[in-house]
Amino acid sequence: MKKKFDKNNFIELNNEFLYQKLEDFLRTEINDETFFIIYNFLQLENFKQGEFEGNQYLIQKMNTKELLIIDIVSEEFVKDHSQTRFKISVSEMIELLDEMRTK
């Protein structure tokens, strides 16, 4: 079943700061040039693992259901990576991208 993105649930599992990172990721990495590249990367279930490196963020596809988003620029300056990376389901990210496309 497709998991629907819930902002409050995301904040509860992570925190408000990481939600801001998610919004920053969507704002800085998703544009006309990258939208379909990232969208197709996420949708391909036969592509179980892999990475997409943007200007500031790295998307690691952990498996067909889960992503790890890493702020690679910020990680250069900190030892504790708990506030520079977060997990989100593939279906939730696809939902967020679909919402961006319809705006």
Instruction: Tell me the pLDDT tens digit for each residue of 38-90.
Output: 999 998 876 678 899 999 999 999 988 999 999 999 999 999 999 999 999 99
In terms of Cβ atoms closer than 10 Å to its own Cβ (0-12, 13-18, 19+), residue 68 is middle
Task: Give yes or no for a contact between 37 and 59, defined as CB atoms under 8 angstroms apart.
Answer: no
The phi and psi torsions of 21 (rounded to 5 degrees) equal -65, -40
Comparison of pLDDT for 9 and 46, the residue scoring more? 9
Q: Is the pLDDT of residue 2 over 80?
A: no
Q: Is residue 88 part of a domain?
A: yes
Q: Quote the pLDDT of residue 1.
A: 45
Q: Is the pLDDT of residue 3 over 90?
A: no
Q: Quote the pLDDT of residue 64.
A: 87
Q: Is residue 24 part of a domain?
A: yes
Q: Is residue 42 part of a domain?
A: yes
- Calculated CA dihedral for residues 28, 31, 34, 37, nearest 10 degrees: 120
Domain extent for 32: 7-102
Total structural domains within the chain: 1
Q: Is residue 1 part of a domain?
A: no
